[in-house]
Each structure stands twice: as structure tokens, then as C-alpha cells.
A and B are shown apart, each in its own frame.
Chain A
Amino acid sequence: MFCEKAMELIRELQRSSEGQLPAFNEDGLRQVLQEMEALYEQNQTDVNEAKADGRADLIPSIKLRHCCLLRNQRCLTAYLYDRLLRIRALRWEYGSVLPANVRFHMCAEEVQWFSHYKKSLASFMRSLGGAEGLDITQDMKPPKSLYIQVRCLKDHGELEIDDGTVILLKKNSQHFLPRWKCEQLIRQGVLEHVMS
């Protein structure tokens, strides 16, 4: 049956649960586009023949191929659009710089989309007023305390806090830090929030 390749792309995303981004399937995409080209050409031939020789009996087959073309178009668009939603999530979870192993899964145009998205979001946040705007990718949960106890899960180098003190984030060290300063590092898995 036609459109099996396109279905494969959709299943691939469905298997990557919780919004993970699988590697961009360039080969799959190309195969679907090739199938579309073949369907289109066959339809052109049949349409011409139907017109020239009055072969109305060809119409059901033309219609069937056209349905397949639309289906392929839908699957490809949905595949790409869903990937954008996953890439969007990366901006909110990781911050604006993505780890190399994640970036590696994106095609050139996706990298470009991401950088445009990043810029739009940044200028939106800057425009909110105040000296530096407001970073709305922070404060994901309601604050319960100003300072929290954190444990370092890996070496991360130095961190400067608001009053100018610099602390060294060394693996397995524990610190009592302003919650606001830690949120992103916790999300990235550098620090762990220790509850007493």
C-alpha cells in the first residue's frame, strides 16, 4: 500500500515518548517525497489519457492516487510540526544553548527555526519592562522559600550569586543557595534539590 513510508515517520515519533527528539529522518523524508513524485506523474499520465481518449474509467484510480498524495502531505507536515513542538520544549527545559548530542538530531532548517524562536522569545521577554525584562522560563513552580539546599551532581565550575560571592560547584558538594539562582541548573540535572 502507498504511504507506508510516511507512516513509519509518524510511528518513529510516537515511539519517542515524553517529547524526546529522535534523529531527523532525512532518508525517510526523501523516500516519501519520491513516492509523491511518482504518484503525481502517474496521475498526470492518466489525466491526459482520460481527457484525450475519453477514458472516464481511469477517474477512480486518479482519485485514489490523489488521496495518497494528500495523505503523504499530511503525514510529512505533521511529522515536521510535531518535531518543532519538541524542539520548542527544549528551549524551555534546557535554556537557549542546547547540548551537542541534542543539536545533532536536528536538521539545518530546524536549527534555524530554533534560533529564530529563541530570538523571538528573548525579545518578547526583554520588552516586558524593567531593566532586563522578565525571564518567564524561570519560576516554573511557586516559591516556598528563598534559599534551598542543593547537592551537586557533577562538576560545573564557578557560580556567582547576587551579592557577588562566588562558589565552586564541585561534584557531591552541598550548598545553601538562593532558589532563583538554582532553578535552571536543577532542571539541567547539574544540581539536585535536597528536601529536609
Chain B
Amino acid sequence: MSDALSDDGSVNQDDSQEDVMTPAELIAKLEEAWLNEKFSPELQENKSEVVECVMEQLTHMEENLQRVKKGDAKASIHRMEIDRIRFVLSSYLRSRLQKIEKFFPHVLEKEKSRGEGDPSLLSPEEFAFAKEYYANTETYLKAVALKHMPPNLQTVDMLKAVPEPCLDSFVFLRVKEKQENILVEPETDDQREYVVDLEEGSQHLMRYRTIAPLVSTGAVQLI
């Protein structure tokens, strides 16, 4: 990751700006990503810079802890803090992996059709995992059943077989930046579409599809 970034001076500068983030800000970023991932029906963009920084932070804290004397009350508070951060990080990565497994053909398809400049949905490690999961599962189905079937039935289109994320599910959200004129689709045939303004700090229950772009820009937070 850092190698790829250092090829380009300007990106590197952005990168060093990111580095100015305080640990508290970093953890806030992790928590934000964690809640969004936990409550959204589809996979969010990867935040591998945050994951990397938090991992570094954890290693750093562990090292500091080694130097503290045994029995120091401060040590157990730090230890607890480490455990809590590790929980959030693990839970975040778990939610992502769960969705990657659940939607693997669609996740890979989205990654394939992604424009060159667009941010990647998957981290390189997740991408490797998803590809292996696909190949492993396909090989298995073929070996046990499909290859023994009549010639015209030996393939199953995984994109059609494995369900897509349901973007019409409803999510709770808190507004971080005021939004105007959000178009809400009708629920039933006898309703019509209408627009709402989302005030900063207000909370709503809405269809995920309606506010999905706002989640990725960070204008709203899923709760």
C-alpha cells in the first residue's frame, strides 16, 4: 500500500496529511466505518488505511505496555483499551468478510466493472480472499455434482444463483451534514414520491437505497 502511494508525490502528500490524525480521531473513524458496515445491507468501500493505522496503533500500545511495570494500575486500563479497540476492529473486518462470502459473485463483478479512477470496494487482501472463495466453491460444486449431470446442465450461473444484497432494506441513520431535497420513493402504489430535508443531528428510518450515496460520502451515519 505505502509503496504504491510513494510512486506519486501528490498522493504521498495527502497520505502524510492523513498521518496527522490523532489516535482519538483514528478510533472515531474506525467506529464510524464499523457502524456503517454493520448496518448497511451491502458492502461499503474498504477503509484499509484506517485498518492499517489501527493495527499499527495496537502494536504500538502493546509495546508500550511491555515497558510498564507489573501490577501498575495504569497497565490494566491500557490493556482494556487495547482489548476494546481490537474488538471493534475484528468485528468490523468480520462484518465485511461475512458480506464478501454472502455476496461473492456480485462483489467480484462490481470490482471487475469498476472504472479506473473509482475507489476499490475490496482491499487487496479481501480481493484475494473473495477470488479464492469463488474458485473453491465453484470447484467443489463441479466435482461433487455438476460434472456428473447431463451436458447441458453442468454449469450454474453464480451471479444468478447467489442473491444480491437487498438495497430496499430499511436502516436507521443520524444526519451529520444537512441535506436538502432528498427524493423518497413511494412505498405503495397509491403513494407518490416526495422530497425531504434532512437536518443536521436528526435521526431517521429510511430505505437504504435512498441514502446509500450519503453513507459513502460520510454525510450520514448508520446507527
Q: Do chains A and B touch in the complex (CB under 8 A)?
A: yes
Contacts of B146 in A (CB 8 A): 73, 77
Of the four ranges (under 10, 10 to 19, 20 to 34, 35 or more), the interface on chain A belongs to: 35 or more
Cα of A81 to Cα of B58 in the assembled complex, Å: 37
Contacts of B52 in A (CB 8 A): 129
Cα of A141 to Cα of B86 in the assembled complex, Å: 11
Contacts of A110 in B (CB 8 A): 140, 144
Contacts of B86 in A (CB 8 A): 134, 139
Asked whether B153 is an interface residue with its Cβ less than 8 Å from the other chain, the reply is yes
Q: Interface 1/0s, chain A 94-117, versus B by CB < 8 A? A: 000000000000010110110011
Among candidates B87, B97, B133, residue contacting A143 with C-beta atoms closer than 8 Å: B87
The residue among A88, A109, A131 with the most chain B CB atoms within 10 A of its own CB is A109
Interface residues of B in 154-189 (CB under 8 A from A): 156, 161
Is there contact, CB below 8 Å, between B90 and A134? yes
The residue among B59, B80, B132, B150 with the most chain A CB atoms within 10 A of its own CB is B150
Contacts of B153 in A (CB 8 A): 36, 69-70, 73
Number of A-B residue pairs, CB cutoff 8 Å, is 105
Contacts of A130 in B (CB 8 A): 55, 58-59
Asked whether A1 is an interface residue with its Cβ less than 8 Å from the other chain, the reply is no
Among candidates B79, B80, B125, residue contacting A128 with C-beta atoms closer than 8 Å: B125
Known: A70-B153, A107-B144, A143-B80. A128 touches B133 (CB 8 A): no
Asked whether A2 is an interface residue with its Cβ less than 8 Å from the other chain, the reply is no
Contacts of B149 in A (CB 8 A): 33, 36, 73
Is there contact, CB below 8 Å, between A37 and B150? yes
Is there contact, CB below 8 Å, between A136 and B136? no
Is there contact, CB below 8 Å, between B83 and A117? no
A: residues with CB less than 8 A from B are: 29, 33, 36-37, 40, 69-70, 73, 76-77, 80-81, 84, 88, 107, 109-110, 112-113, 116-117, 120-121, 123-124, 127-131, 134-136, 138-139, 141-143, 145-146, 179-180
Cα of A135 to Cα of B86 in the assembled complex, Å: 10
Asked whether B56 is an interface residue with its Cβ less than 8 Å from the other chain, the reply is yes
A-side interface mostly: helix
Return the 7 tightest CB-CB contacts between A and B, nearest first: A129-B55, A40-B150, A120-B132, A136-B90, A143-B83, A127-B125, A139-B87
Cα of A40 to Cα of B152 in the assembled complex, Å: 10
Contacts of A116 in B (CB 8 A): 132, 136
Interface residues of B in 117-163 (CB under 8 A from A): 125-126, 128-129, 132-133, 136-137, 140-141, 143-146, 148-150, 153, 156, 161
Asked whether B215 is an interface residue with its Cβ less than 8 Å from the other chain, the reply is no
Is there contact, CB below 8 Å, between B125 and A73? no
Cα of A179 to Cα of B93 in the assembled complex, Å: 21
Contacts of A40 in B (CB 8 A): 150
Is there contact, CB below 8 Å, between B93 and A128? yes
Cα of A109 to Cα of B142 in the assembled complex, Å: 10
Is there contact, CB below 8 Å, between B80 and A109? no
The residue among B52, B83, B126, B146 with the most chain A CB atoms within 10 A of its own CB is B83
